Amino acid sequence: MNNLEKRSVAALASVYAMRMLGLFMVLPVFVLLGTDLQGATPALLGVAIGAYGLTQALLQIPFGFLSDRYGRKPLIYAGLVVFACGSLLAGFSDHIFGVIAGRALQGAGAIASVLMALASDLTREEHRTKAMAAIGMSIGVAFSVSLVLGPLLGEWVGLSGLFFITGGLALVAMLLVAKLVPTPAKTLLNADQRPVPERFREVLRSDRLLRLDFGIFALHLTLTAIFIMVPMLLADQVGLPASSHWWFYLSVMLLSFVAMVPFIILAETRRKMKPVLCAAVLLLFLGMASLDWVGTSLGFAWGAMFVFFMAFNLLEATLPSLVSKESPAGSRGTAMGVYSTSQFLGAFLGGVLGGAVFGYFGIDGLILMLSVVLLAWLMVAVTMPTPEYTSSFVLQLSDSDKIQASSADAILRSLPGVTDVVIIQETLTAYLKIDRQNFDEQRLREAGFLQSPASD
């Protein structure tokens, strides 16, 4: 990447991380601090935790489409203003319904797809996957940091203070966009990076992709629901003061990140993606179910959460990679849009169902509900076909009259290692899915194409 691309990606990753940090900081402390709100019940606390997921799921893709028409930066500013207003509403509210409205308004600033689209506009094709990976890493870092900062800051400034800090982060993010992110000369409508309405039917008919969508739905449903019981379990059952929760989460997250790395290497380099995925779902289930036997043991609680988050981090890293591999040529942006919507719906239902079940049936009932969800996911994962080990390849065709779309499609499909082809005739762009072990780029040149290739 050149300096402009590095600066743009770093700024956009920071904006994404600040926004997610604000959303996640309340997770580890909300059920502890939120009990002081008027009208608070376990069920309503769960709704407040997950409310942002519903508005995120409903508005993320529309925000992306609007940014195609009105520009990326105006929509980012609008989304951050909405996010800040939601934070202030939640911060000033002393009733649970006001906090629920604030959390829903926070989620309504659904700029994730717009940030990704702007990253595409500001990076060259050959560096675009690196840019997406950098932004994806920022989300993981933000989540880990939020689990540490939430208890620390919550003890100091309270629940309202956390929401006010979140609003301040949105303002800082707006300054970063204004000062560090260039305005692209043109909006890039890249079929492989952006959701395309015409391709939703194809994506929704894919059994492979639907299994992965269910996976991310179940993962974030479980994550949101587990934070309804874990903070109370640590404080009331184990006896760990809320002010000390930060080091518990810090040690768990650091070691779980280290522990998952060998499994990612095994999945990607040895082509063991399905066994690793199934093992991770099983570990997620075992870590979650073990919470029922914690008793008063801090060590047992730490071990259960370590297993849970090692599996969670592994799945959070591998599922997007699988979606990219399984999505049809030229439809990765559409597939990721559906995938992200499933993720936020899972977060919403995790809060709503988790809070209701915990309120009526306690920890045992919530663990039973999550066990059913995770065992269903395990069955889906075990019975899914072995994933394809393909990557995306973008090819700019010649504008010569000698190359017609139909003949180019036939030639490209005949090349070794090419598994799928989509040609956009208006832009003379071909989107390929390739198996890199069998693909020979030199054959493209021999076939008579002039190309500027890029792969993920």
| Mean pLDDT (whole number) for 341-366 | 94
Coil/strand/helix, residue 433: strand
DSSP state of 183: P
Share of the chain above pLDDT 90, in %: 52
Average the pLDDT over 128-154 and give the result: 83
Would you place residue 167 in the very low, low, confident or very high pLDDT band (cuts 50, 70, 90)? very high
**Quick one: pLDDT band at residue 65, thresholds 50, 70, 90?**
confident
Q: Which of 103-117, 294-308, 364-378 has the lowest mean pLDDT?
A: 103-117
Kindly state the percentage of the chain with pLDDT values over 70.
87
CATH number of 391-455: 3.30.70.100
Q: Identify the pLDDT of residue 195.
A: 63
Q: In this predicted structure, which of 36-40, 189-193, 348-352 has the lowest mean pLDDT?
A: 189-193
What is the structure's pLDDT at 423?
73
Asked if residue 348 has pLDDT above 90, the reply is: yes
Give the per-residue pLDDT at 214. Answer: 97
Encoded tokens for 41: 């019940």
- Mean pLDDT across 373-393: 86
Burial class (CB in 10 A: 0-12, 13-18, 19+), 4: exposed
Long-range CB contacts (< 8 A, 24+ apart) of 232-235? 232/31, 232/32, 233/291, 233/294, 233/301, 233/363, 234/301, 235/32
CB 436 within 8 A of CB 417: yes
In angstroms, the Cα distances linking 120 to 56, 128, 184, 268, 405 are 21, 6, 10, 25, 25
Interval 402-451: pLDDT, tens: 456 667 777 777 777 777 777 766 666 777 777 777 777 777 766 665 44
Please, are residues 433 and 391 in contact by the beta-carbon 8 Å criterion? yes
pLDDT at 405: 62
pLDDT for the residue 403: 54
Query: Mean pLDDT over residues 356-371, rounded?
Result: 95
CB atoms within 10 A of CB 299: 9
Average pLDDT, the chain: 86
pLDDT of residue 426: 62
**pLDDT band at residue 386 using 50, 70 and 90 as cut-offs:** confident
Tokens of 88: 């202030």
Burial class (CB in 10 A: 0-12, 13-18, 19+), 255: middle
Report the run of H or E that residue 220 belongs to, with start and end.
helix 207-232
* Domain 3-383 class in CATH: mainly alpha
- Give the residue with greater pLDDT, 59 vs 455: 59
Please report, for the chain, the start and end positions of each structural domain, with discontinuous segments joined by +. 3-383, 391-455
Whether residue 401 is predicted with pLDDT greater than 50 in this model: the reply is no
DSSP 363-428: HHHHHHHHHHHHHHHHHHHHHSPPPP--EEEEEEPP--TT--HHHHHHHHHHSTTEEEEEEETTTT
Low-confidence winner among 155-159, 358-362, 368-372, 452-456 (lowest mean pLDDT):
452-456
What pLDDT is recorded for position 450? 46
- pLDDT tens digit string along 251-310? 999 999 899 888 888 887 777 889 999 999 999 999 999 999 998 899 999 999 999 999
